[in-house]
Amino acid sequence: MPHVIFRHLLGETAKTWLVITAVFVFLTLGIGLSRFIGDAAAGQVPVNTVITLAVLSVVGNMDIVMPLSILLAIMLVVGRLCRDNEMAALMAGGAGLSVIYRPFLTVAVGVAVIAGTLSLVVSPYAERTMNQLGAQTVANAVQSVTPGRFASFDDGRIAFYARSRDDAGNLHDVFIRVVRENEAGRKVQTVVTARKARQKIDNQRAVTLVLTDGWRYEGQPGQADYRMVRFGEHGVHLLPGNAVKKDDEDAMSTLALMASDDGEYIATWQTRVSVPLSIIILALIALPIGRVPPRAGRYGRIIVGILFFVVYLNLVRLSGQALESELLPPIIGEWWVHVVVAGIAMYLIARENGFGQQPKDRQR
C-alpha cells in the first residue's frame, strides 16, 4: 500500500512541476527573445546571437523559477488531495503523514539537485558565455550595422551611417556625428564624412573606425566658430574597450568564490548555495500551508504561498547585500534566513501531527 501511494503522489507532483516549470521557462524565454530582438533591430547585437543570448538568460533566471515552481507544484497537488477528500481517505486507510509527505520530498530533492547543478556550475558558465558574446558584439559593432540605415553607439552619443559595404568589409560614403563635452562642460558636436572607412580593434576590443579621404567639422550648434579640417586618414573611437572582466563574481566558478575573503564573493556563493537549499525548505513549508478544507477551492492558499516566497527571497537578497557591505559576518550571512524559515516549516508540520496541542476532554 505505501508503495502504491508513493508512486501515485510522486507521479502527480512530478507532472505538475514539469508543467509549471515549462510555463515559466517559455515565459522567460519569450521575454528574453523580445528584449534581444529589439537589441538586434537597433544594431546592438548580431542577429545570429539572439537565440543563444535568450537561452542563456533563461539559465540565469532558473534560480527563481525552480524554487517557485516546486512550491506551487506541491501546493497544487496537496490542495487537490484535500479538495477531493483523497487526503482524508489516505489517512483513514492508515497512511501517516510520513508516508504522504515522502513522495513530495523525493521530488523536491531531485529538483534541488538539478537546481544546484544549474546554480553552482551551469549559471556561472552561462554568465561567462554572455560576457564573451557581449565582447564579441562590441568588436563586431560596425559589421552588424546595416548599410543605408542609421545606427547609434556609446549610449546615443554617436550616430553612424554608411551607404554601402564592399566584399572586404569596407564601408563607403560614411557619415558620423559625435556629441561630447569640452573642458568648459559645453556640448561640442563633431561631424565627420569620409569616402571610405574600415574597422580597427585593439587588444582591449576598443573599436576605432579608420576613415579615408574626408572632412571633419567641429563646433557648437548655433554658433559660427566651426572648424573644418580635410584629412587623408582619420580615426574615430566608436566604442571603448569591453573585454571580459576576470573579477566578475557572477561569471566566476563557485570554488574560486569560496576561496576568497571578499564580501561580494562570499555573498555570491552563498546565494548560489541558497537555491537548492531553499527548494527543500519551500517543499517543507508547502506541505502544511497547501492543505485546505475539503470544500475549499484548490487555489485558496496559492496567494499565501507566493507572498511567502517573495518575503523569503527578499530576505535572502537583503542578507546578501548586508554581507557585501560587511554588516553581517559570513558565518551568519544568508544562513539565518534559511534557519528561520525551516523552523517555521517544522513547526507547521509538527502541528499537523498534533504536537503541542492539548487533547480534548471526552464527554461523559
Sign, CA dihedral 49-54-56-60, equals positive
Q: How many CB atoms lie within 10 A of CB 204?
A: 11
What grid cell was written down for 184?
Answer: 568648459
pLDDT at 307: 93
What grid cell was written down for 337?
Answer: 534566513
In whole angstroms, what is the distance from residue 138 CA to residue 45 CA? 8
AA identity, residue 230: R
In whole angstroms, what is the distance from residue 364 CA to residue 347 CA? 33
Long-range contacts formed by 87-92: CB under 8 A, 24+ apart: 87/291, 88/294, 90/5
161-198: pLDDT as tens digits: 888 888 877 888 989 888 877 666 677 888 889 998 88
Please give the angle made by the CA atoms of 339, 275 and 308, to the nearest 5 degrees: 60
pLDDT at 36: 83
pLDDT at 363: 46
pLDDT at 274: 94
pLDDT at 12: 92
What grid cell was written down for 292?
Answer: 485546505
pLDDT at 292: 74
Q: How far is CA 359 from the centre of its chain?
A: 49
Per-residue pLDDT of the chain (364 residues; tens, 9 = 90+): 678 888 888 999 999 999 999 999 999 999 988 888 887 766 566 677 888 888 888 998 999 999 999 999 999 998 888 777 777 677 677 677 778 888 999 999 999 999 999 999 999 988 888 877 766 665 566 666 778 888 776 667 778 888 888 887 788 898 988 887 766 667 788 888 999 888 777 666 667 778 899 998 887 777 777 788 898 888 877 665 554 455 578 888 889 888 888 888 999 999 999 999 999 999 999 988 888 776 666 666 888 889 999 999 999 999 999 998 888 899 998 999 999 999 999 998 888 776 655 555 544 4
Q: Residue ranges per domain, the chain?
A: 2-138+246-352, 155-239
Nearest to 237, CA basis, from 140, 135, 170, 154: 154
